[in-house]
Amino acid sequence: MNRFYLRAILLLFSFSILSNAFAQKAGITSGAIYTLQSKTGNKLLEVKNSSMDNGAGVDYWTDTKSDAQRWKVAAVGKGVYTLTNVSSGKLLHIAGAATDTVKINQYDNTNTNDVKWNIKKAGNGYYYLKPVANTGFSVQSPASDIADGTAVGLSRSSAQDLEKWLLQKEEPQEAAPTAATADKVFEAWYTQYQIETSKGFWDRAEMMETLLDAYEVTKDVKYINRFKTMYDNFITDNKADWMYNKYNDDITWAVLFCVRGYRLTGNKTYLEKGKEQFDKMYARAATDAYGGGLNWYETKTSKNACINGPAMVACCYLAQATGDHTYYDKAIALYTWSKTYLLNTATGKVNDNVDIDKKTGALKIGTWSSTYNQGTYLGAAVMLYNYTKKDSYLADAEKIAQYTRDTMYRSGVMNNEDGGNDLPGFKGIFVRYARTYTLEGNRKDLVKWLQLNAKVAYNNRNSHNITGTKWGTKTSETNPKSSFGASTAVSLLMNSFSLK
Protein backbone atom coordinates (compact mmCIF):
# COMPACT_ATOMS: atom_id res chain seq x y z
CA MET A 1 0.00 0.00 0.00
CA ASN A 2 1.24 3.52 -0.79
CA ARG A 3 2.88 4.96 2.33
CA PHE A 4 1.01 8.28 1.92
CA TYR A 5 -2.41 6.59 1.86
CA LEU A 6 -1.52 4.38 4.82
CA ARG A 7 -0.52 7.44 6.83
CA ALA A 8 -3.79 9.21 5.90
CA ILE A 9 -5.87 6.20 6.96
CA LEU A 10 -4.03 6.02 10.29
CA LEU A 11 -4.61 9.73 10.89
CA LEU A 12 -8.35 9.40 10.15
CA PHE A 13 -8.58 6.35 12.41
CA SER A 14 -6.76 8.18 15.20
CA PHE A 15 -9.05 11.20 14.84
CA SER A 16 -12.11 8.96 15.02
CA ILE A 17 -10.82 7.32 18.21
CA LEU A 18 -10.03 10.71 19.75
CA SER A 19 -13.44 12.13 18.80
CA ASN A 20 -15.24 9.21 20.39
CA ALA A 21 -12.98 9.41 23.42
CA PHE A 22 -13.70 13.13 23.83
CA ALA A 23 -17.42 12.46 23.50
CA GLN A 24 -17.54 9.50 25.84
CA LYS A 25 -15.62 11.40 28.47
CA ALA A 26 -18.47 13.85 28.74
CA GLY A 27 -21.08 11.07 28.47
CA ILE A 28 -22.11 12.33 25.04
CA THR A 29 -22.12 10.22 21.88
CA SER A 30 -20.63 12.13 18.98
CA GLY A 31 -22.93 12.03 15.95
CA ALA A 32 -26.05 11.28 17.99
CA ILE A 33 -29.21 13.39 18.08
CA TYR A 34 -30.30 15.01 21.35
CA THR A 35 -32.99 17.24 22.78
CA LEU A 36 -31.82 19.80 25.33
CA GLN A 37 -34.30 20.25 28.16
CA SER A 38 -34.05 23.08 30.65
CA LYS A 39 -33.87 21.90 34.27
CA THR A 40 -36.02 24.80 35.50
CA GLY A 41 -38.64 25.09 32.77
CA ASN A 42 -38.66 21.50 31.49
CA LYS A 43 -38.90 22.89 27.97
CA LEU A 44 -36.67 22.28 24.98
CA LEU A 45 -34.11 24.41 23.22
CA GLU A 46 -35.36 25.00 19.67
CA VAL A 47 -34.87 27.19 16.62
CA LYS A 48 -37.54 29.88 16.72
CA ASN A 49 -40.44 29.16 14.35
CA SER A 50 -38.44 26.28 12.80
CA SER A 51 -36.68 28.87 10.66
CA MET A 52 -34.22 27.79 7.98
CA ASP A 53 -32.44 31.17 7.98
CA ASN A 54 -29.04 32.24 9.21
CA GLY A 55 -29.41 34.38 12.31
CA ALA A 56 -32.76 32.89 13.38
CA GLY A 57 -33.09 33.06 17.13
CA VAL A 58 -33.21 30.20 19.59
CA ASP A 59 -35.98 29.93 22.16
CA TYR A 60 -37.50 27.23 24.27
CA TRP A 61 -40.82 25.50 23.95
CA THR A 62 -42.95 22.58 25.09
CA ASP A 63 -41.81 19.31 23.48
CA THR A 64 -43.67 18.96 20.18
CA LYS A 65 -41.38 16.27 18.69
CA SER A 66 -40.22 18.81 16.12
CA ASP A 67 -36.87 18.42 14.40
CA ALA A 68 -36.34 22.11 15.18
CA GLN A 69 -35.98 20.92 18.81
CA ARG A 70 -33.36 18.29 17.98
CA TRP A 71 -29.62 18.77 17.72
CA LYS A 72 -26.91 16.57 16.28
CA VAL A 73 -23.92 16.77 18.59
CA ALA A 74 -20.47 16.28 17.08
CA ALA A 75 -17.16 16.20 18.96
CA VAL A 76 -14.53 18.46 17.41
CA GLY A 77 -11.97 18.45 20.23
CA LYS A 78 -11.50 17.59 23.89
CA GLY A 79 -14.82 18.51 25.50
CA VAL A 80 -15.62 20.67 22.46
CA TYR A 81 -18.69 20.12 20.27
CA THR A 82 -20.84 21.58 17.55
CA LEU A 83 -24.64 21.32 17.79
CA THR A 84 -26.36 21.15 14.42
CA ASN A 85 -30.11 21.67 14.27
CA VAL A 86 -31.71 18.63 12.65
CA SER A 87 -34.35 20.68 10.83
CA SER A 88 -32.28 23.50 9.38
CA GLY A 89 -28.84 21.93 9.22
CA LYS A 90 -27.38 25.08 10.81
CA LEU A 91 -25.23 25.26 13.93
CA LEU A 92 -25.90 26.68 17.37
CA HIS A 93 -24.05 29.99 17.33
CA ILE A 94 -23.43 32.99 19.55
CA ALA A 95 -24.63 36.21 17.96
CA GLY A 96 -21.78 38.38 19.28
CA ALA A 97 -19.12 38.72 21.93
CA ALA A 98 -20.31 36.82 25.01
CA THR A 99 -22.19 39.06 27.46
CA ASP A 100 -25.27 38.72 29.63
CA THR A 101 -27.37 40.37 26.91
CA VAL A 102 -26.23 38.27 23.96
CA LYS A 103 -28.75 35.82 22.51
CA ILE A 104 -27.86 32.66 20.69
CA ASN A 105 -28.98 31.81 17.20
CA GLN A 106 -28.29 29.43 14.33
CA TYR A 107 -25.81 29.92 11.53
CA ASP A 108 -23.88 28.12 8.85
CA ASN A 109 -20.64 26.54 10.01
CA THR A 110 -18.17 29.41 10.38
CA ASN A 111 -15.40 27.05 11.57
CA THR A 112 -14.76 29.50 14.40
CA ASN A 113 -15.25 29.34 18.14
CA ASP A 114 -18.66 31.06 17.65
CA VAL A 115 -20.15 27.65 16.75
CA LYS A 116 -18.15 25.55 19.23
CA TRP A 117 -19.31 24.60 22.69
CA ASN A 118 -17.90 23.07 25.83
CA ILE A 119 -20.39 20.56 27.22
CA LYS A 120 -19.57 19.94 30.86
CA LYS A 121 -21.27 17.73 33.40
CA ALA A 122 -23.44 19.52 35.94
CA GLY A 123 -24.52 16.42 37.90
CA ASN A 124 -27.54 14.12 37.82
CA GLY A 125 -27.44 13.84 34.03
CA TYR A 126 -27.46 17.61 33.42
CA TYR A 127 -24.87 19.62 31.51
CA TYR A 128 -23.60 23.16 31.10
CA LEU A 129 -23.26 24.56 27.56
CA LYS A 130 -20.41 27.06 27.42
CA PRO A 131 -19.30 28.93 24.29
CA VAL A 132 -15.68 28.18 23.46
CA ALA A 133 -15.41 31.86 22.51
CA ASN A 134 -15.76 32.65 26.23
CA THR A 135 -16.17 29.77 28.65
CA GLY A 136 -16.98 32.18 31.47
CA PHE A 137 -20.55 32.21 30.14
CA SER A 138 -23.25 29.54 29.84
CA VAL A 139 -26.50 29.04 27.91
CA GLN A 140 -29.22 30.00 30.36
CA SER A 141 -32.97 29.55 30.28
CA PRO A 142 -34.93 32.68 31.26
CA ALA A 143 -35.20 33.41 34.96
CA SER A 144 -38.43 35.41 34.94
CA ASP A 145 -40.47 34.00 32.07
CA ILE A 146 -40.89 30.32 31.30
CA ALA A 147 -43.56 30.79 28.62
CA ASP A 148 -43.28 29.00 25.29
CA GLY A 149 -41.27 31.07 22.84
CA THR A 150 -39.07 32.84 25.38
CA ALA A 151 -35.68 33.66 23.88
CA VAL A 152 -32.60 31.90 25.22
CA GLY A 153 -29.25 33.61 25.64
CA LEU A 154 -26.00 33.63 27.58
CA SER A 155 -25.27 34.55 31.18
CA ARG A 156 -22.11 34.69 33.25
CA SER A 157 -21.57 31.20 34.65
CA SER A 158 -22.80 30.78 38.22
CA ALA A 159 -23.74 27.08 38.39
CA GLN A 160 -27.45 27.88 38.81
CA ASP A 161 -30.14 25.42 37.74
CA LEU A 162 -31.06 27.92 35.00
CA GLU A 163 -27.81 26.93 33.27
CA LYS A 164 -28.38 23.18 33.45
CA TRP A 165 -29.68 21.21 30.48
CA LEU A 166 -30.71 17.58 30.24
CA LEU A 167 -29.40 15.98 27.04
CA GLN A 168 -31.74 13.20 25.97
CA LYS A 169 -30.74 10.99 23.07
CA GLU A 170 -33.39 10.73 20.33
CA GLU A 171 -33.85 8.49 17.32
CA PRO A 172 -33.94 10.03 13.84
CA GLN A 173 -37.47 10.59 12.55
CA GLU A 174 -39.16 11.18 9.20
CA ALA A 175 -38.98 14.72 7.87
CA ALA A 176 -42.14 16.01 6.19
CA PRO A 177 -43.59 15.71 3.68
CA THR A 178 -44.28 11.98 3.73
CA ALA A 179 -47.45 9.94 3.67
CA ALA A 180 -47.01 9.20 7.38
CA THR A 181 -46.59 12.83 8.42
CA ALA A 182 -49.54 13.84 6.24
CA ASP A 183 -51.76 11.21 7.86
CA LYS A 184 -50.61 12.26 11.34
CA VAL A 185 -51.66 15.87 10.90
CA PHE A 186 -54.84 14.82 9.10
CA GLU A 187 -55.96 12.59 11.95
CA ALA A 188 -55.16 15.22 14.58
CA TRP A 189 -57.07 17.91 12.69
CA TYR A 190 -60.04 15.71 11.78
CA THR A 191 -60.62 14.35 15.29
CA GLN A 192 -59.73 17.34 17.47
CA TYR A 193 -61.92 19.75 15.51
CA GLN A 194 -64.67 17.16 14.96
CA ILE A 195 -64.65 17.95 11.25
CA GLU A 196 -67.22 15.29 10.41
CA THR A 197 -69.95 17.21 12.22
CA SER A 198 -68.72 20.74 11.43
CA LYS A 199 -71.16 23.38 10.21
CA GLY A 200 -70.77 26.16 7.67
CA PHE A 201 -70.99 26.26 3.90
CA TRP A 202 -67.97 27.24 1.82
CA ASP A 203 -65.37 26.51 4.46
CA ARG A 204 -66.88 23.09 5.04
CA ALA A 205 -67.04 22.51 1.27
CA GLU A 206 -63.34 23.34 0.97
CA MET A 207 -62.44 21.05 3.89
CA MET A 208 -64.38 18.27 2.17
CA GLU A 209 -62.11 18.79 -0.82
CA THR A 210 -59.17 18.19 1.53
CA LEU A 211 -60.64 14.74 2.23
CA LEU A 212 -60.83 14.15 -1.50
CA ASP A 213 -57.20 15.22 -1.86
CA ALA A 214 -56.24 12.70 0.82
CA TYR A 215 -58.08 9.90 -0.95
CA GLU A 216 -56.74 10.89 -4.36
CA VAL A 217 -53.10 10.77 -3.28
CA THR A 218 -53.27 7.77 -0.92
CA LYS A 219 -56.21 5.68 -2.22
CA ASP A 220 -57.00 4.90 1.43
CA VAL A 221 -60.76 4.25 1.62
CA LYS A 222 -61.00 5.72 5.13
CA TYR A 223 -60.86 9.19 3.59
CA ILE A 224 -63.62 8.58 1.05
CA ASN A 225 -65.81 6.94 3.70
CA ARG A 226 -65.48 10.08 5.81
CA PHE A 227 -66.29 12.19 2.76
CA LYS A 228 -69.52 10.25 2.24
CA THR A 229 -70.59 10.99 5.81
CA MET A 230 -69.72 14.67 5.44
CA TYR A 231 -71.63 14.85 2.15
CA ASP A 232 -74.79 13.52 3.78
CA ASN A 233 -74.38 15.96 6.67
CA PHE A 234 -73.85 18.84 4.28
CA ILE A 235 -77.06 18.10 2.37
CA THR A 236 -78.99 17.78 5.63
CA ASP A 237 -77.69 21.08 6.97
CA ASN A 238 -77.76 23.13 3.76
CA LYS A 239 -80.89 21.89 2.00
CA ALA A 240 -81.25 20.26 -1.38
CA ASP A 241 -81.29 23.55 -3.30
CA TRP A 242 -78.51 26.02 -2.47
CA MET A 243 -79.86 29.04 -4.31
CA TYR A 244 -80.86 30.65 -1.02
CA ASN A 245 -77.15 31.35 -0.61
CA LYS A 246 -76.38 34.67 -2.34
CA TYR A 247 -72.65 33.93 -2.59
CA ASN A 248 -72.04 32.36 -5.98
CA ASP A 249 -68.54 31.31 -4.99
CA ASP A 250 -69.91 29.35 -2.02
CA ILE A 251 -72.15 27.35 -4.32
CA THR A 252 -69.29 26.70 -6.72
CA TRP A 253 -67.12 25.26 -3.96
CA ALA A 254 -69.88 22.81 -3.10
CA VAL A 255 -70.21 21.97 -6.78
CA LEU A 256 -66.49 21.17 -6.84
CA PHE A 257 -66.68 18.61 -4.05
CA CYS A 258 -69.71 17.06 -5.75
CA VAL A 259 -68.10 16.64 -9.16
CA ARG A 260 -64.71 15.62 -7.76
CA GLY A 261 -66.50 13.17 -5.47
CA TYR A 262 -68.20 11.62 -8.51
CA ARG A 263 -64.95 11.38 -10.45
CA LEU A 264 -63.27 9.56 -7.55
CA THR A 265 -66.15 7.26 -6.58
CA GLY A 266 -68.47 6.95 -9.56
CA ASN A 267 -71.44 7.94 -7.37
CA LYS A 268 -73.84 9.64 -9.82
CA THR A 269 -75.79 11.28 -7.00
CA TYR A 270 -72.82 13.59 -6.47
CA LEU A 271 -72.59 14.49 -10.16
CA GLU A 272 -76.30 15.14 -10.53
CA LYS A 273 -76.32 17.46 -7.53
CA GLY A 274 -73.22 19.32 -8.68
CA LYS A 275 -74.46 19.80 -12.25
CA GLU A 276 -77.91 20.93 -11.14
CA GLN A 277 -76.59 23.53 -8.72
CA PHE A 278 -73.86 24.79 -11.03
CA ASP A 279 -76.29 25.36 -13.88
CA LYS A 280 -78.62 27.35 -11.62
CA MET A 281 -75.77 29.40 -10.21
CA TYR A 282 -74.30 30.13 -13.63
CA ALA A 283 -77.66 31.23 -15.03
CA ARG A 284 -78.05 33.89 -12.35
CA ALA A 285 -74.40 34.95 -12.07
CA ALA A 286 -73.47 35.40 -15.76
CA THR A 287 -74.26 38.92 -17.00
CA ASP A 288 -73.04 41.22 -19.75
CA ALA A 289 -71.82 43.85 -17.29
CA TYR A 290 -68.11 44.64 -17.90
CA GLY A 291 -68.29 42.44 -20.98
CA GLY A 292 -68.81 39.10 -19.25
CA GLY A 293 -67.76 37.18 -16.19
CA LEU A 294 -69.75 36.08 -13.14
CA ASN A 295 -71.14 38.15 -10.28
CA TRP A 296 -69.67 37.33 -6.91
CA TYR A 297 -72.77 38.08 -4.82
CA GLU A 298 -76.35 38.40 -5.96
CA THR A 299 -77.61 42.03 -5.84
CA LYS A 300 -74.03 43.41 -5.91
CA THR A 301 -72.08 44.69 -8.92
CA SER A 302 -68.67 43.22 -8.21
CA LYS A 303 -67.20 40.49 -10.40
CA ASN A 304 -64.47 38.73 -8.46
CA ALA A 305 -61.71 36.25 -9.10
CA CYS A 306 -63.05 34.24 -6.15
CA ILE A 307 -66.07 33.16 -8.23
CA ASN A 308 -64.64 33.19 -11.75
CA GLY A 309 -61.59 31.06 -10.85
CA PRO A 310 -63.42 28.16 -9.19
CA ALA A 311 -66.19 28.38 -11.81
CA MET A 312 -63.63 27.77 -14.58
CA VAL A 313 -62.29 24.76 -12.71
CA ALA A 314 -65.83 23.47 -12.09
CA CYS A 315 -66.63 23.85 -15.82
CA CYS A 316 -63.58 21.75 -16.74
CA TYR A 317 -64.51 19.05 -14.24
CA LEU A 318 -68.12 19.02 -15.44
CA ALA A 319 -67.01 18.70 -19.06
CA GLN A 320 -64.81 15.74 -18.12
CA ALA A 321 -67.54 14.12 -16.03
CA THR A 322 -70.46 14.61 -18.45
CA GLY A 323 -68.78 14.69 -21.84
CA ASP A 324 -70.59 18.00 -22.52
CA HIS A 325 -67.91 20.25 -23.99
CA THR A 326 -70.07 23.35 -23.77
CA TYR A 327 -68.77 23.54 -20.21
CA TYR A 328 -65.28 23.95 -21.66
CA ASP A 329 -66.68 26.74 -23.83
CA LYS A 330 -67.90 28.48 -20.69
CA ALA A 331 -64.51 28.03 -19.01
CA ILE A 332 -62.69 29.48 -22.02
CA ALA A 333 -65.08 32.45 -22.16
CA LEU A 334 -64.54 33.20 -18.45
CA TYR A 335 -60.77 32.86 -18.80
CA THR A 336 -60.67 35.13 -21.86
CA TRP A 337 -62.79 37.74 -20.08
CA SER A 338 -60.61 37.52 -16.97
CA LYS A 339 -57.57 38.62 -18.97
CA THR A 340 -59.20 42.02 -19.40
CA TYR A 341 -59.57 42.82 -15.69
CA LEU A 342 -58.33 40.09 -13.38
CA LEU A 343 -55.48 38.02 -14.82
CA ASN A 344 -52.27 39.75 -15.86
CA THR A 345 -50.71 37.18 -18.16
CA ALA A 346 -47.46 39.16 -18.34
CA THR A 347 -46.79 38.78 -14.63
CA GLY A 348 -49.07 35.99 -13.42
CA LYS A 349 -50.78 38.26 -10.90
CA VAL A 350 -54.50 37.64 -10.29
CA ASN A 351 -56.40 40.74 -9.18
CA ASP A 352 -59.27 40.44 -6.75
CA ASN A 353 -62.20 42.09 -8.53
CA VAL A 354 -63.63 44.58 -10.98
CA ASP A 355 -66.45 46.88 -9.89
CA ILE A 356 -68.07 50.27 -10.41
CA ASP A 357 -66.70 53.14 -8.35
CA LYS A 358 -69.82 54.51 -6.69
CA LYS A 359 -68.39 58.02 -6.53
CA THR A 360 -67.17 58.38 -10.12
CA GLY A 361 -69.14 55.73 -11.98
CA ALA A 362 -65.89 54.50 -13.53
CA LEU A 363 -64.59 50.96 -13.46
CA LYS A 364 -62.11 50.17 -10.71
CA ILE A 365 -59.88 47.16 -10.22
CA GLY A 366 -59.25 45.67 -6.79
CA THR A 367 -55.57 44.74 -7.09
CA TRP A 368 -55.17 42.67 -3.92
CA SER A 369 -53.91 39.15 -4.67
CA SER A 370 -54.49 36.04 -2.58
CA THR A 371 -53.40 32.42 -2.68
CA TYR A 372 -57.05 31.45 -3.22
CA ASN A 373 -57.28 33.27 -6.54
CA GLN A 374 -53.75 32.45 -7.64
CA GLY A 375 -54.57 28.81 -7.01
CA THR A 376 -57.85 28.54 -8.91
CA TYR A 377 -56.51 30.43 -11.92
CA LEU A 378 -53.44 28.18 -11.85
CA GLY A 379 -55.68 25.12 -11.91
CA ALA A 380 -57.91 26.51 -14.66
CA ALA A 381 -54.94 27.38 -16.88
CA VAL A 382 -53.54 23.85 -16.61
CA MET A 383 -56.91 22.20 -17.23
CA LEU A 384 -57.57 24.37 -20.29
CA TYR A 385 -54.11 23.61 -21.61
CA ASN A 386 -54.82 19.90 -21.32
CA TYR A 387 -58.08 20.37 -23.22
CA THR A 388 -56.96 22.77 -25.95
CA LYS A 389 -53.22 21.89 -26.11
CA LYS A 390 -52.54 25.61 -26.54
CA ASP A 391 -49.16 26.47 -25.08
CA SER A 392 -50.36 29.92 -24.03
CA TYR A 393 -52.38 28.41 -21.18
CA LEU A 394 -49.39 26.53 -19.81
CA ALA A 395 -47.26 29.66 -20.15
CA ASP A 396 -49.89 31.54 -18.12
CA ALA A 397 -49.86 28.79 -15.50
CA GLU A 398 -46.10 29.07 -15.18
CA LYS A 399 -46.36 32.84 -14.67
CA ILE A 400 -49.12 32.43 -12.05
CA ALA A 401 -47.11 29.81 -10.16
CA GLN A 402 -43.92 31.83 -10.19
CA TYR A 403 -45.63 35.09 -9.25
CA THR A 404 -47.03 33.36 -6.18
CA ARG A 405 -43.70 31.85 -5.18
CA ASP A 406 -41.32 34.67 -6.09
CA THR A 407 -43.29 37.91 -5.76
CA MET A 408 -45.81 37.10 -3.05
CA TYR A 409 -43.50 34.98 -0.89
CA ARG A 410 -39.93 35.57 -2.14
CA SER A 411 -39.46 31.79 -2.28
CA GLY A 412 -39.97 31.63 1.48
CA VAL A 413 -42.55 30.14 3.79
CA MET A 414 -46.18 31.20 3.35
CA ASN A 415 -46.84 32.84 6.68
CA ASN A 416 -49.89 35.09 6.30
CA GLU A 417 -53.62 35.14 5.47
CA ASP A 418 -54.67 34.53 9.05
CA GLY A 419 -57.35 37.17 9.65
CA GLY A 420 -61.12 36.77 9.75
CA ASN A 421 -63.12 33.66 8.91
CA ASP A 422 -62.17 33.09 5.27
CA LEU A 423 -58.51 34.05 4.83
CA PRO A 424 -57.09 31.28 7.04
CA GLY A 425 -58.23 28.60 4.59
CA PHE A 426 -56.90 30.15 1.39
CA LYS A 427 -53.47 28.51 1.19
CA GLY A 428 -54.95 25.02 1.23
CA ILE A 429 -56.63 25.88 -2.08
CA PHE A 430 -53.40 27.06 -3.66
CA VAL A 431 -51.41 23.92 -2.83
CA ARG A 432 -54.13 21.71 -4.32
CA TYR A 433 -53.77 23.40 -7.67
CA ALA A 434 -50.00 23.55 -7.30
CA ARG A 435 -50.15 19.75 -7.31
CA THR A 436 -52.33 19.87 -10.44
CA TYR A 437 -49.79 22.19 -12.06
CA THR A 438 -46.90 19.90 -11.12
CA LEU A 439 -48.48 16.64 -12.23
CA GLU A 440 -50.78 17.58 -15.09
CA GLY A 441 -48.67 20.47 -16.33
CA ASN A 442 -45.48 18.42 -15.93
CA ARG A 443 -43.75 21.33 -14.21
CA LYS A 444 -41.28 20.87 -11.35
CA ASP A 445 -40.53 24.49 -10.46
CA LEU A 446 -42.75 24.61 -7.36
CA VAL A 447 -41.73 21.26 -5.85
CA LYS A 448 -38.79 22.33 -3.68
CA TRP A 449 -40.69 25.38 -2.47
CA LEU A 450 -43.77 23.36 -1.54
CA GLN A 451 -41.62 20.82 0.29
CA LEU A 452 -39.82 23.61 2.17
CA ASN A 453 -43.21 24.90 3.30
CA ALA A 454 -44.31 21.41 4.29
CA LYS A 455 -41.16 20.78 6.31
CA VAL A 456 -41.40 24.07 8.20
CA ALA A 457 -45.17 23.82 8.74
CA TYR A 458 -44.82 20.30 10.13
CA ASN A 459 -41.99 21.33 12.46
CA ASN A 460 -44.16 24.23 13.67
CA ARG A 461 -46.97 21.94 14.81
CA ASN A 462 -47.87 21.93 18.49
CA SER A 463 -47.82 18.89 20.76
CA HIS A 464 -51.34 18.01 19.53
CA ASN A 465 -50.01 17.76 15.93
CA ILE A 466 -51.98 20.83 14.86
CA THR A 467 -50.39 23.48 12.65
CA GLY A 468 -52.06 26.87 12.28
CA THR A 469 -52.43 28.66 8.98
CA LYS A 470 -49.27 30.71 9.57
CA TRP A 471 -46.92 27.93 8.56
CA GLY A 472 -43.80 29.90 9.45
CA THR A 473 -44.92 30.54 13.03
CA LYS A 474 -44.89 28.01 15.84
CA THR A 475 -48.44 26.92 16.70
CA SER A 476 -49.40 27.57 20.30
CA GLU A 477 -50.39 24.80 22.64
CA THR A 478 -53.86 26.32 22.68
CA ASN A 479 -55.12 25.07 19.34
CA PRO A 480 -56.12 27.72 16.78
CA LYS A 481 -59.83 28.46 16.87
CA SER A 482 -60.18 28.07 13.13
CA SER A 483 -60.46 24.48 11.96
CA PHE A 484 -60.47 25.95 8.46
CA GLY A 485 -57.10 27.58 9.10
CA ALA A 486 -55.68 24.36 10.52
CA SER A 487 -56.83 22.52 7.40
CA THR A 488 -54.29 24.34 5.24
CA ALA A 489 -51.31 22.43 6.65
CA VAL A 490 -53.24 19.20 6.12
CA SER A 491 -53.79 20.16 2.49
CA LEU A 492 -50.13 21.17 2.19
CA LEU A 493 -48.77 17.87 3.46
CA MET A 494 -51.26 15.75 1.55
CA ASN A 495 -50.73 17.56 -1.74
CA SER A 496 -46.94 17.77 -1.56
CA PHE A 497 -45.63 14.47 -0.20
CA SER A 498 -45.84 12.59 -3.51
CA LEU A 499 -44.31 15.34 -5.65
CA LYS A 500 -40.84 14.69 -7.04
115-168 pLDDT per residue, tens: 999 999 999 999 999 999 999 999 998 876 789 999 999 999 999 999 999 999
Q: Is the predicted pLDDT of residue 276 greater than 70, yes or no?
A: yes
Instruction: Identify each DSSP E strand in 144-191 by its residue range.
Output: 150-151, 153-156, 165-170
**Which residue, 170, 198, 228, sits at the end of a domain?**
170
Q: How far apart are CA 340 and CA 291, in angstroms?
A: 9
Task: Give the chain's domain count.
Answer: 2
User: Quick one: 158 and 220 in the same domain?
Assistant: no
Q: Is the predicted pLDDT of residue 7 greater than 80, yes or no?
A: no
User: Quick one: 158 and 208 in the same domain?
Assistant: no
Among the listed residues 162, 103, 152, the one whose alpha carbon sits nearest the alpha carbon of residue 128: 162
What are the C-alpha distances in Å from 172 to residues 40, 44, 78, 87, 497?
Answer: 26, 17, 26, 11, 19
CATH number of residue 210's parent domain:
1.50.10.20
User: Quick one: 250 and 397 in the same domain?
Assistant: yes
**Which residue, 152, 170, 188, sits at the end of a domain?**
170
CATH number of residue 69's parent domain:
2.80.10.50
Cβ-defined contacts of 189-197 (< 8 Å, 24+) = 189/466, 189/483, 189/486, 189/487, 189/489, 189/490, 190/226, 192/464, 192/466, 192/479, 193/479, 193/483, 193/486, 195/230, 195/483, 196/226, 196/229, 196/230, 196/233, 197/233
Three-class SS state of 88: coil
Q: How many CB atoms lie within 10 A of CB 61?
A: 24
Among the listed residues 158, 161, 168, 153, the one whose alpha carbon sits nearest the alpha carbon of residue 44: 168
Checking phi first, is residue 55 left (phi over 0); if not, alpha (psi -120 to 50) or beta?
left
What are the C-alpha distances in Å from 440 to residues 1, 97, 379, 385?
Answer: 56, 53, 10, 9
Average pLDDT of the segment spanning 171-195: 97
User: Quick one: 270 and 193 in the same domain?
Assistant: yes
Scanning 408-471, the segments in alpha helix (DSSP H) are 426-440, 447-459
User: Quick one: 102 and 212 in the same domain?
Assistant: no
pLDDT band at 26 (very low <50, low <70, confident <90, very high): low
pLDDT band at 227 (very low <50, low <70, confident <90, very high): very high
User: Quick one: 69 and 191 in the same domain?
Assistant: no
User: Quick one: 164 and 217 in the same domain?
Assistant: no
User: Quick one: 150 and 186 in the same domain?
Assistant: no
Among the listed residues 297, 307, 287, 305, the one whose alpha carbon sits nearest the alpha carbon of residue 354: 305
Find out whether 312 and 331 touch, Cβ atoms under 8 Å. yes
> Which amino acid would we find at residue 422?
D
pLDDT score at 96: 80
pLDDT band at 16 (very low <50, low <70, confident <90, very high): very low
User: Quick one: 397 and 492 in the same domain?
Assistant: yes
Q: What is the pLDDT of residues 418-464, one digit of tens each?
A: 999 999 999 999 999 999 999 999 999 999 999 999 999 999 999 99
User: Quick one: 160 and 296 in the same domain?
Assistant: no
Q: What is the pLDDT of residues 342-358, one digit of tens each?
A: 999 999 999 999 999 99
The verdict on whether omega for the bond into residue 172 sits within 30 degrees of 0, i.e. cis, is no
User: Quick one: 10 and 99 in the same domain?
Assistant: yes
Q: What is the pLDDT of residues 73-126, one digit of tens each?
A: 999 999 999 999 999 999 999 988 767 777 899 999 999 999 999 999 999 999
> Which amino acid would we find at residue 440?
E
Q: Which domain holds residue 28?
A: 3-170
**Which residue, 105, 136, 170, sits at the end of a domain?**
170
User: Quick one: 82 and 200 in the same domain?
Assistant: no
